[in-house]
């Protein structure tokens, strides 16, 4: 099939950036979306034009690196998959496809479709862990954990940190991402000791990074490639209020 | 044994070696640790766990990754699980059994003492991960669940759904994030190591390129740890991430670190086949599918047979070749046997699909026997993923699968302390050669990465540092200046060639040569031919590659060119190594070495050694050193799956 791509091009963080049009021909329906861009990039390179820069790595939908807004939707038109898992059979002859980077103040554009997501790393560094050193740990079976709780923790832990939730939110809120980590550790016995300080520190860092407030529109859940549930945000709010009522940790 | 290689395996009974060695190792006293700097390159399981543990001990750590965050490393893609000799299932597992299975599975080409230590510390890994909040699968009583994996006779594999690698990596990522917050680890994202710097013969730092600004930077330290993963992308198509590369390990090799068993690569039998020239990578489908799927091709080749049409083929016209050739193991033969047989039937012209490079994996009988619901409960997510990628529905027609490169057992040669032949330079995880011999067992890669990072190198590195002294080397030292210049010159050379072919053109060509002649099946004649082809390709690369963009900006074209230049050199070494190893062993089949029935024939009296290659200059053949493998605790047997 033959397609017209309208792609965001921005030379660097200082550049203003603009949409540019490209035509690609002979696109096979068996190609992944990123392979279609590879084909375009090979064409551009042969002409001596700088290829379109985009983040990608595992191409199996788990590393969380790929990050494109395709026709207005983070990770494209299909639910529950990342951009790298999207295949061209989801498009048809003559389609015009727009491709843009994640748009959020806390995710500044580096080049073309590549954005800086280190704000997510800093939120985790603020408290998204259990304070244990290597070694001197009790046996793994010393604390039984109900299967239901372990499964719920796993549901939250499945977050790949791609940032689609932020890109989908009209406020560019990071609540779904933060709540996934807060929930995972609040559910497990290992996370109990620092339960209150953790949520307070992570929320404070989230605000500091400039992410917007959550107004419960649910766009994040709808666009999350891993189906992280809005329930986690409810849990985060409960954890946060309870921490603020009983502690003055930060 | 060669005089150069000293494995430093401690004397004494196997079970006591590690605890005795830990006592014999020198230690750096707690208040002195802050005087030492350690560089860790790569933040997958082996790198993040080491960096975090060093930081906890009090060392100053600089960690580097080329991705945008340490959480992206390709360890994240491991699906199946992690082995540990916990014996929670009361089914007779033990440290010795895990050790024995790993040595045997590696086809007797690994070092006994290293593997035994791996089995010993495996139990601590699970404790550590649970304490970090890794949500492993659990039974209704709340205790940890296990499954059997990769043909093991006991259930010792711990798992977190089909995302075990992700959860373990996020555990290690949380540990390194904590040390970043504490100021003990300084993290350099989007940075690629382009050389290692030696001062007085010791590793004292690295040269990196900041991938955003293009700046070439020098970093000095007392020791350097490479945890940079495997080199499967030398084949262009593999299950590795797109960015996985050999550059850090290869530069270290060219600075004196021996490269061990480069030809030992693992080919995984159940991957989604190539759909066309546009293919950029291959996707693994879990091996567990072979528990219920039946592998077949038509008895007589049918060009372009689709999965949809295959259901019309009569039972009598199908060849369930694994069940026919291996009646006792059937579809559950080990990875290498399943892969080789798939290649053979395709070479005979009986392959299926548009390319003829695929075989069927058919669930029709399983669905008839157990019902669709049962199969869906077991494999639902895999079936969905398959349909997503191929557009075919595996509930209604067979899957198509084909082998793909998945893991590299070879890597930098290390001694028992995980130190390479360059003092102060260490290699951990898939980056080294140490534990898997000629073939890695399922659920063992995660185990080795975390064993090295959490429980081995934090001990062994102290022994080296304690004798080194804590004086720092400034990055103004001439060794850094010289290394920086070499890196810059090479980048400028690449940028100025301005040829006709793209980096991917070369990479794809290299991949085809390696896959054809140095993949699953090798012969002397083919290897000779391949060597000439790779040499020619390398010469052409440096004359005719086209790299666009600038040096002082994010330039993914340049990044790839740097990596492919190194793959071209590694490819030639892999071919040399495959030539020397004139036996069929583990993951690879040497055509001159087979039994009368056409099965792999290992030759222990000639090839019980680790090949370790020493770089000898850009246009000279490498020197081969051999570390003889001595087996005192296991008896060598030929594998049979008939």
A55 Cβ under 8 Å from any chain B Cβ: yes
Residues 71-110 of A with CB under 8 A from B: 81, 85, 87, 89, 110
Query: Does the pLDDT of residue B167 top 80, yes or no?
Result: yes
- Mean pLDDT estimate for chain B: 96
Q: Which pLDDT does position B336 carry in this prediction?
A: 85
Which of B133, B187, B241 is the closest to A184 by Cβ? Answer: B133
Distance from CA of B260 to the nearest CA of A (A): 26
In angstroms, the separation between the Cα of residue B67 and the nearest Cα of chain A is 8
Residues B251 and B276 in one domain: no
pLDDT by residue (tens digit) across A32-45?
A: 999 999 999 999 99
pLDDT of res. B3: 53
Alpha helices in B498-591 (DSSP H): 503-518, 524-544, 556-580
Q: Same domain for B424 and B385?
A: no
Residues of A in contact with B126 (CB under 8 A): 140
Assess if residue B392 is contained within a domain: yes
**Token pair for B150:** 């990769």
When computed from its CA atoms, the radius of gyration of chain A, rounded to whole angstroms, is 20
Minimum CA–CA partner of A26 in chain B: B278
At B151 the pLDDT is 66
In a domain, B91, yes or no: yes
Nearest Cα of chain B lies from the Cα of A241 at a distance, in angstroms, of: 23
Residue where the block lists tokens 């990050």: A67
Residue B53 at interface with chain A, using a CB cutoff of 8 Å? yes
Nearest CA in chain A to B189: A118
Of B77, B131, B548, the CB nearest to A45: B548
Does the pLDDT at position B575 exceed 70? yes
Asked if the model's pLDDT at residue B1 lies above 60, the reply is: no
Dump pLDDT digits (tens) for B479-503. 999 999 999 999 999 999 999 999 9
Q: Token digits for B435?
A: 């534990």
Q: Which residues contact B55 (CB under 8 A, 6 or more apart)?
A: B61, B176, B179, B182, B184, B185
Q: What is the pLDDT of residue A194?
A: 95
From chain A, the residues in CB contact with B557 under 8 A are 45, 50-51
Residue among B170, B607, B434 at smallest CA distance from A184: B170
Q: What is the 3-state secondary structure (H, E, C) of A118-145?
A: HHHHHHHHCCCCCCCCCCCCCCCCCCCC
pLDDT at A219: 98
ipTM metric: 0.98
Are the CB atoms for A84 and A94 separated by under 8 Å?
no
Shortest alpha-carbon distance between residue A245 and chain B (Å): 26
- Is B640 domain-assigned? no
Domain end call among B468, B489, B516: B468
The pLDDT of residue B381: 83
Burial of B328 (0-12, 13-18, 19+ CB in 10 A): exposed
Q: What is the CATH number of the domain that holds B529?
A: 1.20.58.100
pLDDT for the residue numbered B640? 75
Distance, CA of B235 to CA of B519 (rounded, Å): 9
B608 part of a folded domain: no
Residue B432 and residue B491 share a domain:
no
List the domain range (segments joined by +) for residue B286: 269-404
Residue B381 shares a structural domain with residue B492:
no
CA angle B237, B240, B242 (to 5 degrees): 75
pTM of the model: 0.97
B156 vs B145: CA distance, rounded Å: 9
Tell me the percentage of chain B whose pLDDT exceeds 70.
99
Count up the domains in chain B and report the number: 3
Please tell me whether residues B291 and B422 are part of one structural domain: no
- Whether A52 has its CB under 8 Å from any CB of chain B: the answer is no
**B49 vs A: CB within 8 A:** yes
Domains of chain A: 3-110 (3.10.20.30), 118-246 (1.10.1060.10)
Q: Kindly state whether residues B440 and B384 are assigned to the same domain.
A: no
CATH number, domain with residue B234: 3.50.50.60
For B374-390, what is each residue's pLDDT tens digit? 999 888 888 998 999 99
Residue B286's pLDDT band (boundaries 50, 70, 90)?
Answer: confident
Distance of alpha carbon A220 from alpha carbon B116, whole angstroms: 47
Does one domain contain both B441 and B342?
A: no
CB-closest option in B56, B76, B276 to A28:
B276
- In this structure, are B397 and B281 located in the same domain? yes
Q: What tens digit of pLDDT does each residue of A125-159 get?
A: 999 999 999 999 999 999 999 999 999 999 999 99
Question: If pLDDT is split at 50, 70 and 90, which confidence band does B619 have?
Answer: confident
Backbone angles phi, psi at B164, to 5 degrees: -65, -45
On the question of pLDDT at B331 being above 80, the answer is yes
If contacts are CB pairs under 8 Å, which of residues 71-90 in chain B contact chain A? 71-74, 76-77, 86, 88
For B311-456, where are the alpha helices, taking DSSP H only?
A: 321-325, 335-347, 364-370, 372-390, 445-450
- A49/B548 CB distance under 8 A: yes
Which position has the token pair 């640790």? B33
Sign of the CA dihedral with A198 first, then A199, A202, and A204 last? negative
Q: B469 and B35 in contact (C-beta within 8 Å)?
A: no
- Check pLDDT > 50 for residue B67: yes
Spatial contact of B611 and B411, defined as CB atoms under 8 Å apart: no
**A31, A39 Cβ separation under 8 angstroms:** yes
Residues 6+ apart with CB under 8 A from B29: none
Mean pLDDT on B353-359: 95
Indicate the pLDDT class of residue B162, thresholds 50, 70 and 90: confident
- Do B181 and A190 lie within an 8 Å CB cutoff? no
Closest Cβ opposite residue B132 in set A130, A145, A150:
A130
Q: Which of A28, A38, A154 has the CB atom closest to B161's CB atom?
A: A154
B61 DSSP β-pair partners: B38, B185
CB contact residues (below 8 A), chain B span 339-378, against chain A: none
User: Given a cut of 50, is residue B90 above it in pLDDT?
Assistant: yes
> Distance, in angstroms, between A166 CA and closest chain B CA?
17
Report whether pLDDT(B472) > 80: yes
Low-confidence stretches of chain A (pLDDT < 70) are 248-250
**Structural contact between residues B502 and A40, judged by C-beta atoms closer than 8 angstroms:** no
Is there a contact between B391 and A89 if contact means CB atoms under 8 Å apart?
yes
Q: Which residues of B touch A143 (CB under 8 A)?
A: 130
Q: Which residues of A touch B180 (CB under 8 A)?
A: 121, 125
- pLDDT tens digit string along B95-141? 999 999 999 989 999 999 999 999 999 999 999 999 999 999 999 99
**Distance (Å) from the alpha carbon of B131 to chain A's nearest alpha carbon:** 6
| Residues of B labelled catalytic | 335
Question: In 3-state terms, what secondary structure has residue A240?
Answer: helix
Which CATH number covers residue B284?
3.90.700.10
Taking only residues 481 to 540 of chain B, the set having a beta carbon closer than 8 angstroms to any beta carbon of chain A reads 502, 504
**Both B55 and B113 in a single domain?**
yes
How high is the mean pLDDT of chain A?
Answer: 97
Residue-wise pLDDT tens digits, B304-327 = 999 999 999 999 999 999 999 999
CB spacing of A147 vs B142 below 8 angstroms: yes
Residues B273 and B260 occupy one common structural domain? no
């Amino acid at each position: 099939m033959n397609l017209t791509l309208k792609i965001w091009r921005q030379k660097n963080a200082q550049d203003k950036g603009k949409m540019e049009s490209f035509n690609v021909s002979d696109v096979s329906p068996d190609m992944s979306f990123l392979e279609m861009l590879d084909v375009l990039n090979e064409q551009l390179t042969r002409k001596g034009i700088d290829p379109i820069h985009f983040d990608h790595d595992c191409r199996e939908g788990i590393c969380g690196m790929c990050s494109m807004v395709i026709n207005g939707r983070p990770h494209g038109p299909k639910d529950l998959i990342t951009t790298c898992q999207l295949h061209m059979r989801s498009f048809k002859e003559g389609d015009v496809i727009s491709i843009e980077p994640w748009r959020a103040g806390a995710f500044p554009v580096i080049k073309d479709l590549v954005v800086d997501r280190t704000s997510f790393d800093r939120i985790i560094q603020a408290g998204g862990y259990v304070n244990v050193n290597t070694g001197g740990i009790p046996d793994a079976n010393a604390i039984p954990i109900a299967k239901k709780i372990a499964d719920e923790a796993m549901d939250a832990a499945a977050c790949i940190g791609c940032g689609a939730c932020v890109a989908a939110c009209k406020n560019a809120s990071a609540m779904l991402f933060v709540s996934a980590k807060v929930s995972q550790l609040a559910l497990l016995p290992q996370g109990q000791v620092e339960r209150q300080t953790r949520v307070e520190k992570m929320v404070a860092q989230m605000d500091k990074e400039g992410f917007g407030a959550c107004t419960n529109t649910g766009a994040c859940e709808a666009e999350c490639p891993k189906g992280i549930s809005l329930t986690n945000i409810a849990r985060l709010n409960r954890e946060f209020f309870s921490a603020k009522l009983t502690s003055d940790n930060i | 044994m060669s005089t150069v290689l000293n494995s430093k395996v401690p004397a004494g009974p196997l079970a006591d070696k590690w605890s005795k060695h830990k006592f014999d190792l020198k230690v750096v006293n707690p208040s002195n640790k802050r005087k030492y700097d350690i560089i860790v390159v790569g933040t997958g399981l082996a790198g993040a766990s080491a960096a975090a543990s060093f930081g906890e001990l009090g060392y100053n750590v600089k960690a580097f990754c080329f991705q945008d965050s340490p959480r992206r490393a390709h360890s994240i893609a491991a699906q199946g699980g992690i082995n540990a000799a916990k014996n929670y299932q009361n089914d007779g597992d033990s440290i010795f059994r895990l050790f024995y299975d790993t040595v045997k599975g590696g086809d007797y080409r690994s070092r006994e003492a290293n593997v035994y230590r791996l089995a010993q510390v495996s139990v601590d890994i699970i404790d550590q991960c649970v304490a970090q909040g890794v949500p492993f699968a659990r039974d209704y009583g709340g205790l940890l669940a296990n499954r059997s994996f990769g043909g093991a006779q006991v259930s010792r594999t711990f798992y977190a759904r089909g995302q075990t690698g992700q959860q373990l990596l996020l555990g290690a990522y949380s540990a390194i994030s904590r040390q970043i917050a504490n100021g003990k680890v300084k993290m350099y994202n989007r940075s690629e190591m382009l050389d290692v710097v030696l001062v007085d013969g010791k590793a004292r730092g690295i040269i990196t390129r900041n991938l955003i600004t293009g700046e070439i930077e020098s970093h000095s330290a007392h020791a350097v740890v490479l945890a940079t993963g495997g080199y499967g992308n030398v084949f262009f198509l593999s299950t590795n991430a797109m960015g996985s590369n050999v550059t850090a390990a290869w530069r270290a090799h060219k600075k004196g670190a021996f490269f061990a068993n480069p030809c030992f690569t693992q080919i995984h039998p159940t991957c989604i086949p190539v759909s066309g020239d546009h293919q950029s990578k291959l996707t693994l489908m879990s091996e567990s599918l072979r528990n219920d799927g039946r592998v077949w091709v038509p008895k007589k080749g049918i060009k372009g047979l689709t999965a949809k049409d295959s259901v019309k083929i009569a039972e009598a016209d199908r060849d369930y070749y694994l069940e026919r050739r291996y009646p006792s193991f059937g579809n559950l033969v080990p990875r290498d046997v399943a892969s080789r047989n798939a290649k053979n039937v395709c070479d005979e012209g009986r392959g299926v699909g548009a390319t003829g490079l695929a075989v069927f994996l058919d669930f029709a009988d399983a669905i008839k026997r157990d019902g669709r619901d049962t199969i869906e409960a077991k494999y639902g997510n895999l079936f969905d993923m398959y349909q997503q990628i191929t557009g075919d529905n595996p509930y209604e027609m067979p899957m198509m699968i084909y082998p793909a490169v998945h893991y590299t057992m070879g890597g930098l040669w290390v001694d028992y302390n995980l130190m390479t032949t360059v003092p102060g330079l260490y290699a951990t995880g898939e980056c080294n050669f140490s534990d898997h011999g000629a073939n890695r067992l399922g659920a063992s890669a995660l185990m080795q990465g975390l064993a090295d990072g959490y429980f081995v190198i934090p001990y062994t590195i102290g022994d080296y540092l304690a004798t080194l002294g804590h004086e720092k080397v400034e990055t103004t030292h001439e060794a850094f200046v010289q290394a920086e210049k070499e890196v810059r010159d090479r980048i400028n050379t690449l940028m100025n060639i301005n040829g006709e072919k793209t980096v991917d053109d070369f990479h794809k060509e290299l991949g085809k040569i390696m896959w054809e002649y140095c993949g699953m099946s090798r012969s002397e004649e083919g290897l000779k031919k391949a060597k000439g082809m790779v040499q020619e390709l390398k010469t052409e690369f440096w004359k005719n590659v086209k790299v666009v963009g600038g040096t002082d900006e994010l330039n993914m074209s340049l990044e790839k060119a740097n990596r492919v230049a190194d793959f071209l050199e590694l490819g030639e070494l892999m071919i040399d190594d495959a030539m020397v190893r004139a036996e069929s062993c583990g993951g690879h089949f040497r055509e001159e070495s087979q039994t009368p029935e056409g099965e792999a024939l290992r030759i222990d009296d000639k090839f019980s050694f680790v090949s370790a290659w020493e770089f000898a200059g850009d246009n000279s053949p490498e020197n081969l050193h051999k570390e003889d493998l001595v087996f005192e605790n296991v008896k060598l047997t030929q594998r049979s799956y008939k």
